């Protein structure tokens, strides 16, 4: 699942304080162009009595309220009074521009009067671009990934109503002959659609809504017109560069909504680089803050790859594992048992390749209006191939598909169901066909006082499961009692605990020495402990392999310094067969005790969030030793322990996931 988390309230307040100019409904402070001083009394004509900041705010809100109510003349009167005392009030100029556009559209029957009103609107909107960064007039930059909320408040129905009206007005304007080639009109149309698309992203979960695409088209048209004006000489190179920077900034915000963090980071970094030689403007400050937030979320909660679809954004996740192994008992040869004819020896090297991909859809109560807290549905497929150079009869090829659903009716309680189909070939011959259904009930435990939005809040997880497996063995048999086709049932539970983070285990190594923590975010890894139990009841067409069994298992993973981790797992199984064995010369029932131990050492080459061009990429190198010991009560007339064997597998794997 995707982890979505929001900045805590104190942080939002701090950001809002730094970026108070983001919302004209919050601040109407006057802004001067970079490097300019306000005109002195001797240089300017008589001006109305200056207003206090509080009075400006009251007057601005009154003008906006009149605009929203459709009282354009009243709104014009109020806002013209405001900008007369504060010419650089970007919010006032912006809404006056919209009002003049609206009035011009209402008087298209009088072309001369309409043109005058459109020209007045152009003057107002052009002034907004000239005197301030586009971030200074009313808009909210909302990151749906939960990494930042810029502005004083979340998007509201009231704010969206204003944006919708602005978009309708601007769209009608650029559809007119006078507005068709106005780059400023197209620019602000893109801004209005950007604001609408941000609301669509929050409500529907679509990465690219219709308004998102309209915003992209409007910005593209604005740049085409800017290039034309530059070629005509009506637009200076400096003005063009400044205008292009603002377009790039908004394209960066659109990329954030599309969950293209890498693209967004590149665009915003371009904005920062363009302004490196001059004074730091607000748009540069905003871009730098957004880059830091994007870096943080890419590192701590990398988002999976997504794909837009008619049913909403689909998550795409996959893996590739390449390994080389040495197996001391490929054919599971029993103790004191002769090699089968044609098999040169029981040990062999093995090359392995495993791949898989999952496509899923994640829905939430808030965004998708579902019953319960969340719903996760998906499908996937995988293949596994293992080849032996000498014992080719035991080459293994497995093809699988799956479908699953996981529902969270209340917070941290999950009910799921998964269906798996697998087809296995041994050598080049069909071996097993399996249909398996697994319902699961899971509970996530969290540390007291910590929210589920905190990535480090999970204390542990409990899973209860049942599995029904309908298997069809496709190999040839010489006795019907050896027919293993049948129903395989199992039920059990598993428990995991997150015990301690690496930064608390290896305090000296991960101590901050002024350059930040070592080894990317390895200090956040948890030492985990797990254990579980499974009961099995297997009933087949023949009776040689009917059994009931019990398995207990446990393991621990310990994060080590220098991007290493060590893991150990142990598993113990007791199987009791219910019929006398065909192979026991005494005719006794078979009883097995199986021990399995796994030791692993993993080195992280690249962790999730570390590669900015693919946030979810993880590349690891793992060495492992697997020991298996099976003791059985059965031996045949030649004193061969056909079901007792020892096996060791030494492996080296490259693990790639995305």
Q: In 514-606, which ranges are E strands?
A: 526-540, 547-560, 564-580, 589-606
Q: How is residue 639 written in tokens?
A: 């004193």
Q: Given this model, what pLDDT does residue 50 score?
A: 63
Query: What confidence tens digit (pLDDT) does each residue in 378-429 have?
Result: 999 999 999 999 999 999 999 999 999 999 999 899 999 999 999 999 988 9
- How, if at all, do strands 413-426 and 589-606 pair? unpaired
Query: What confidence tens digit (pLDDT) does each residue in 133-162 have?
Result: 444 333 322 222 222 222 223 345 555 666
Q: What is the DSSP letter of 40?
A: P
Q: Given this model, what pLDDT does residue 325 score?
A: 97
Phi, psi for residue 243 in degrees, rounded to 5: -65, -45
Q: Given this model, what pLDDT does residue 389 score?
A: 93
List of long-range contacts for 193-198, beta carbons under 8 Å, 24+ apart: 193/167, 193/218, 194/139, 194/250, 194/253, 194/254, 195/139, 195/140, 195/155, 195/159, 195/160, 195/163, 196/160, 196/163, 196/164, 196/167, 197/254, 197/257, 198/140, 198/141, 198/142, 198/144, 198/155, 198/257
Q: Cα 87 vs. chain centroid, distance in angstroms? A: 44
Phi, psi for residue 378 in degrees, rounded to 5: -170, 170
Q: How is residue 42 written in tokens?
A: 């001797």
Residue 589 to residue 71: CA distance in whole angstroms: 93
| Cβ-contact 59, 51 below 8 angstroms | yes
Q: In 123-256, which ranges are E strands?
A: none
Q: Given this model, what pLDDT does residue 428 score?
A: 85
Query: What confidence tens digit (pLDDT) does each residue in 623-652 have?
Result: 999 999 999 998 888 888 889 999 999 999
Strand partners of residue 166: none
Query: Residue with structure tokens 């009251």?
Result: 58
Reduced to 3 states (helix: H, G, I; strand: E, B; else coil), residue 518 is coil
Which helix (H) or strand (E) is 325 found in, with range?
strand 314-327
Which helix (H) or strand (E) is 202 found in, with range?
helix 183-204
Q: Which residues of the chain have pLDDT under 70?
A: 1-53, 108-109, 126-163, 199-209, 259, 297-303, 451-455, 512-520, 612
323 CB contacts (<8 Å, ≥6 apart)?
A: 351, 352, 353, 354, 651, 652, 653, 654
Q: How many residues does the chain have?
A: 658
Residue 626 to residue 650: CA distance in whole angstroms: 7
Q: Given this model, what pLDDT does residue 17 score?
A: 32
Closest C-alpha to 379, from 356, 364, 362, 401: 401
387 CB contacts (<8 Å, ≥6 apart)?
A: 350, 351, 352, 395
Closest C-alpha to 625, from 656, 606, 653: 653
Residue 490 to residue 464: CA distance in whole angstroms: 11
Q: Given this model, what pLDDT does residue 518 score?
A: 63
Query: What confidence tens digit (pLDDT) does each residue in 541-586 have?
Result: 998 999 999 999 999 999 999 999 999 999 999 999 999 998 888 8
| Cβ-contact 482, 327 below 8 angstroms | no
| Cβ-contact 257, 207 below 8 angstroms | yes
Q: Given this model, what pLDDT does residue 175 score?
A: 85
- How many Cβ atoms from other residues are within 10 Å of residue 623's Cβ? 13
């Amino acid at each position: 699942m995707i982890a979505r988390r929001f900045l805590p309230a104190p942080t939002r307040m701090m950001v809002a304080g730094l970026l108070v100019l983001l919302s004209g409904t919050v601040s109407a402070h006057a802004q001067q162009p970079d490097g300019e001083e306000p005109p002195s009394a001797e240089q300017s004509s008589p001006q109305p009595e200056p207003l206090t900041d509080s009075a400006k705010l009251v007057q601005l809100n009154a003008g906006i309220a009149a605009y929203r109510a459709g009282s354009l003349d009243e709104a014009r009167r109020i806002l013209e009074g405001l900008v007369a005392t504060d010419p650089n009030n970007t919010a006032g100029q912006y809404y006056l521009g919209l009002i003049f556009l609206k009035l011009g559209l209402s008087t298209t029957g009088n072309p001369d009067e309409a043109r005058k009103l459109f020209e007045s609107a152009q003057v107002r909107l052009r002034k907004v671009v000239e005197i301030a960064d586009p971030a200074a007039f009313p808009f909210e930059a909302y990151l749906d990934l939960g990494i930042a909320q810029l502005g004083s408040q979340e998007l509201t129905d009231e704010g969206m109503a204003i944006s919708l009206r602005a978009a309708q007005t601007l769209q009608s304007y650029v559809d007119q002959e006078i507005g068709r080639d106005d780059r400023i009109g197209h620019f602000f149309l893109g801004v209005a659609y950007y604001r609408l698309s941000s609301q669509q992203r929050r409500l529907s979960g679509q990465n690219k809504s219709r308004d998102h695409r309209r915003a992209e088209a409007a910005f593209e048209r604005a740049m085409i017109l800017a290039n034309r004006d530059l070629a005509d000489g009506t637009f200076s190179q400096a003005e063009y560069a400044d205008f292009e920077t603002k377009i790039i900034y908004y394209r960066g915000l659109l990329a954030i909504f599309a969950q293209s963090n890498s693209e967004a980071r590149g665009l915003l970094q371009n904005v920062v680089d363009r302004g490196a030689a001059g004074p730091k403007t607000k748009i540069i400050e905003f871009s730098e803050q957004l880059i830091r937030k994007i870096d943080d979320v890419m590192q701590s909660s990398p988002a999976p790859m997504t794909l837009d679809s008619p049913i909403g954004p689909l998550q795409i996740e996959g893996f590739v594992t390449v390994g080389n192994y040495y197996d001391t008992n490929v054919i599971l040869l029993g103790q004191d048992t002769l090699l089968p004819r044609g098999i040169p020896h029981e040990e062999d090297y093995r090359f392995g390749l495993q791949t898989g991909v999952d496509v899923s859809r994640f829905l939430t109560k808030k965004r998708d209006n579902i019953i319960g807290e969340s719903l996760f549905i998906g499908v996937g497929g995988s293949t596994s191939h293992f080849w032996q150079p000498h014992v080719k009869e035991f080459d293994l090829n497995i093809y699988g598909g799956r479908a699953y659903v996981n529902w969270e009716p209340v917070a941290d309680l999950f009910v799921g169901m998964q269906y798996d189909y697998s087809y296995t070939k041994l050598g080049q011959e069909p071996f097993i066909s399996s249909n398996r259904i697994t319902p699961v009930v899971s509970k996530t435990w969290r540390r007291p006082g910590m929210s589920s939005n905190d990535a480090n809040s999970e204390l542990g997880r409990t899973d209860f499961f049942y599995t029904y497996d309908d298997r069809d063995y496709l190999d040839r048999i010489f006795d019907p009692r050896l027919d293993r086709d049948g129903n395989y049932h199992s039920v059990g539970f598993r428990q995991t605990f997150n015990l301690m983070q690496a930064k608390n285990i290896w305090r000296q190594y991960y101590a901050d020495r002024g350059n930040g923590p070592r080894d990317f975010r390895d200090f956040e890894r948890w030492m985990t402990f797990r254990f579980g139990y499974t009961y099995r009841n297997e009933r087949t067409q023949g009776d040689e392999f009917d059994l009931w069994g019990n398995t207990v298992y446990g393991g621990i993973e310990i994060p080590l310094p220098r991007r290493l981790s060590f893991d150990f797992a142990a598993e113990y199984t007791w199987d009791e067969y219910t019929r006398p064995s065909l192979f026991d010369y005494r005719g006794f029932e078979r009883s097995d005790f199986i021990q399995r131990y796994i030791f692993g050492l993993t080195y992280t080459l690249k962790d999730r969030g570390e590669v900015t061009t693919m946030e979810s990429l993880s590349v690891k190198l793992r060495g492992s030793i697997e020991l298996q010991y099976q003791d059985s009560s059965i031996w045949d007339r030649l004193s061969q322990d056909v079901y007792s064997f020892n096996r060791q597998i030494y492996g080296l794997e490259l693990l790639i996931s995305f």
